[in-house]
Amino acid sequence: MSTNKRFGWSVVRHYLTAPQILHGLVETIELTITSMAIGIAFGTILAVMRLSPNPLVAGASWVYIWFFRGTPVLVQILFWFNIAALYPRFAIGIPLGPQVGHVNLTSLITPFIAGMLALGLNEAAYMAEIVRAGIISVDEGQSEAASALGMTRLLTMRRIVLPQAMRVIIPPTGNETISMLKTSSLVAVIAVPELLYSAQIIYARTYQTIQLLIVASIWYLILTSILSVGQAYLERHFGRGTSRQTRESIFERWRRNLFAFHQDLS
């Protein structure tokens, strides 16, 4: 691999830090963060709704999840990109009352906004199920004790149930974030200049296709590695109170395991 000249490692090195690629990298990070934020926030609301005793509220959440999980995310991206064809003008006003104002959807929905909405709203459906699994994993006695202390349903959810559900929620959410980082490359189809599309623009001009795909892959790998470390720290934070042992930092654990490994060898 390293001796095959056709890989063109010098080209890879050259483009790895090219301004256009770095700009695409920033765009990818922004897209991942904003759409995951939408997914987690909206997904949590959907999960709480699905567990509501009110059948109308629970039903609305079910329909949402059914729809957004049931259609391809690529279709959803194209749909949001073209939404302005349905509603060129989006009026804001009181129903049957005066119109307060209006926005021009054609100019509001930029490719970036369309991609963010599509990825975020799609992610919400998956996050809803992850958060719901976390909530039902918390012992019922916890919310009963909170009720007996006079805490309302929402306060109990926010202060008692969700923090303990985190332990179950975080590993699959880390998975989703890593998956989102890569799925965000799909918005290349609506010409959002993120990492993959930036690479595509360059190789369309220079024909160095393989080299630029390697550049993009290297950056994706670096980002997912950073995310994995972040996930480990989050898990440690929300795992507090679950073990009898005193906690060691992740660095300490690595050092201890490495040390044990050396001992095994000698």
Query: In terms of residues, how long is the chain?
Result: 266
**Using rule CB under 8 A, residue 56 touches other proteins:** no
Q: Does 101 bind other proteins (CB under 8 A)?
A: no
The DSSP annotation for 229-243 comes to HHHHHHHHHHTTTS-
Residues 93/100, Cβ–Cβ less than 8 Å: yes
Helix (H) or strand (E) holding 89: strand 89-93
Question: Least distance in Å: CB of 142 to other proteins?
Answer: 6
Smallest gap from Cβ 50 to other proteins, in A, equals 19
Rule CB under 8 A: say whether 234 interacts with other proteins: no
**With binding defined as CB under 8 A, does residue 152 bind other proteins?**
yes
- Burial letters 187-217, b for 16+ CB under 10 A, else e: bbebebbbbbbbbbbbbeeeebeebbebbbe
147 touches other proteins (CB under 8 A) = yes
Q: Distance between CA 19 and CA 26 in Å, rounded?
A: 11
Q: Is 10 or 147 the residue whose CB approaches other proteins more closely?
A: 147
Q: Which residue in the set 4, 54, 243, 266 belongs to the binding site for other proteins (CB under 8 A)? A: 243
Q: How far, CA to CA in Å, does 223 sit from each of 113, 115, 209, 229?
A: 22, 20, 21, 10
CB of 49 to other proteins, least distance (A): 16
Nearer Cβ to other proteins (101/150): 150
The rounded distance, in Å, linking the Cα atoms of 94 and 112 is 29
Report the residue number, 207 or 233, with the smaller CB distance to other proteins. Answer: 233
* Nearer of residues 153 and 182 to other proteins, judged by Cβ: 153
The label of the residue with tokens 């963010």 reads 116
The binding track of 110-139 with respect to other proteins, each residue x by CB under 8 A or -, is -----------------------------x
Q: Does 164 bind other proteins (CB under 8 A)?
A: yes
Q: Tell whether residue 163 is a contact of other proteins (CB under 8 A).
A: yes
Instruction: Compare residues 83 and 146 and give the one whose CB is closer to other proteins.
Output: 146
User: Residue 223's closest CA among 177, 190, 260?
Assistant: 177
Which residues sit at the interface with other proteins, rule CB under 8 A? 139, 141-142, 144-153, 155, 159-160, 163-164, 238, 240-244
